[in-house]
Amino acid sequence: MSHDRYVSPLSERYASREMQYIFSPDMKFRTWRRLWIALAETEKELGLPITDEQIEELRSHADDINYDVAKEREKLVRHDVMSHVYAYGQQCPKAKGIIHLGATSCYVGDNTDIIIMSEALKLVRTKIVNVIAELADFAEQYKDLPTLAFTHFQPAQPTTVGKRATLWLQEFMMDLEDLEYVLGSLKLLGSKGTTGTQASFLELFDGDQETIDKIDPMIAEKMGFEACYPVSGQTYSRKVDTRVLNVLAGIAASAHKMSNDIRLLQHLKEVEEPFEKNQIGSSAMAYKRNPMRSERIASLSRYVMVDALNPAVTSATQWFERTLDDSANKRLSVPEGFLAIDGILDLCLNVVDGLVVYPKVIEKHLMAELPFMATENIMMDAVKAGGDRQELHERIRELSMEAGKNVKEKGLENNLLELIAADPAFGLSLDELKKTMDPAKYTGRASVQVDKYLADVVRPMLEENRELLGVKAEINV
C-alpha cells in the first residue's frame, strides 16, 4: 500500500468489501462489456449482419479487461468509452467492427450507473432489514422494562426501553418502504442515441419503426430489467440520482437520530454501546468508555444527508438533452453516498446487536422522578378519601416546588412523598403513598404497542425477507 497519496477513508475504514466491489472498476467495465454484448446480440436478432462467431468472441473476453491498453489509449484520445472500445477490439479482432454499433457513450455509461445503483440498493436493503431485525429483537426483549421518558430532554411520563426502540425501528421501516419503491422503479436508459431520438438506429434498420421499438425492451430483458425509460435526452434524467440519494439521506437521518439517543443514554449510564475488552476510550482519561461507534454513525450520517444535495443541484442544472457538468460530480457523490451508508448500517448492526442495558441505573433515575409523575394518582386517591380536588391540586403544586428546590438547590433526594404524607389535607400515610410507586402503573400501553407493532408490521416483513437475514457487520476500525 502506498503511503504518499490520499486514500479515501470510505474504502479504508468504513465501507464493506461487498459495497466497494459494486463501485469498483471491475464491476463498471465488466458491465460495459455485458452491455456491448447485449447490444450486439439484440442487433443480430433483429437482422443486422452480426455473426455467432463475433458474439462468442465478445463473450470470451467479457471479464479479462486489458486495463493497460485502455489506459494508454485514453492518454491519446482523451475519451474513456472509446478507449475501452479500442481495448475490447484488440482482444476481439473479429468483432471489433461491431462493438458499440449505433450507440453513444451514455449507452454503457448511464446503463451501467443504473445497474450499479440497483445492486448497491439491494445491498443496502439487505443491511437495513438486518438492522430492523436486531431492533425488533431488542424491543421485544425490553418491552416491559420501565424507563424514564423525556420530552425536551426533561423527565416526562415513563415509557419502556423496548417501546423507545420501536421509535427507531419505525423510522427504518419507513426508509425500507422508500428504498423498495425507488428500487422497484429503476429502469435502464436503453440505447437511444445522442439526443434520445434513436436516429442512428433509423439508419441502421432502414427506418423500420417496428424493429427499432424492440431494441430497448430486448436490452432491458438481457440485463435483468423490466423496462427502459420511455423518453430521455442523451442521458437518463438526473432526477433518478436525486431520488436514490434521497433514500440514502433518509436512512442516514434515522441512523443519526438513533445514535444520538444512544449517546445520551450512555451519558446517563442507562444503555451502552458495545465496548471491547482492550478498547481505549481516551488517551488521557483511562476510565472513559466513549460511544465512539454511535458518534461515527452520526458523523457519517451528516455526510450522507448533505451529499444528497449534489444530485439535486446536478439534476436542476442539466441543460436541454445533456451537459457534462454532471460527470465529475456523479463520480464522487453517488459512490461515496453508498459507501458511507454501507458503513453506517454496519455500525448500526454492530451497535444494536451489542447494546448493554443497565436496569438498576434505569430504575434509580425513574424512581427519583416518579413521585412527581404519580401526583395525579395520589390526588385521585385523596379525593376518594374525601378531599377537595382543587385544594389538593394547589397543595401538590406547592409541595412539588418545595421538593424540587430540595433536589436542585440543596442536592437532597426527592422527598415529595414525605411532604405529602406529612400534610393532613391528603390523609394518606407514607406506606400508602409508596404503594403508588410501581413504575409499571405509569407506562400506559407501551408493552402492548410493542407487541402489536412487531406482530402486525415488523415480523411479517421480516418473514417475507427471511432470505436476507443473518448479515453480520463488517467493521474495519
Active centre residues (catalytic): 152, 282
Question: Contact 163/450 with Cβ under 8 angstroms?
Answer: yes
Cell of 343: 458503513
DSSP class of 97: G
Give the type of residue at 418: E
**Burial tier of 283 (Cβ tally within 10 Å: 0-12, 13-18, 19+):** exposed
Radius of gyration of the chain (CA): 31
Q: Crossing angle of helices 359-373/375-384, nearest 10°? A: 50
Q: What sign does the CA torsion over 248, 251, 253, 256 have?
A: negative
d(CA 178, CA 31): 26
Would you tell me how many other CB atoms lie within 10 Å of the CB of residue 394? 11
B/e letters for 71-98, b = 16+ CB within 10 Å, e = fewer, are eebbeeeeebbebbbbbbbebbeebbeb
Q: What distance separates the 2 farthest-apart alpha carbons in the chain? A: 104
DSSP class of 228: B
d(CA 272, CA 265): 7
Give the type of residue at 286: A
CA angle 54, 55, 59 (to 5 degrees): 120
Question: Contact 10/343 with Cβ under 8 angstroms?
Answer: yes
**Nearest CA to 251 among 306, 309, 184, 174?**
174
Question: Contact 188/220 with Cβ under 8 angstroms?
Answer: yes
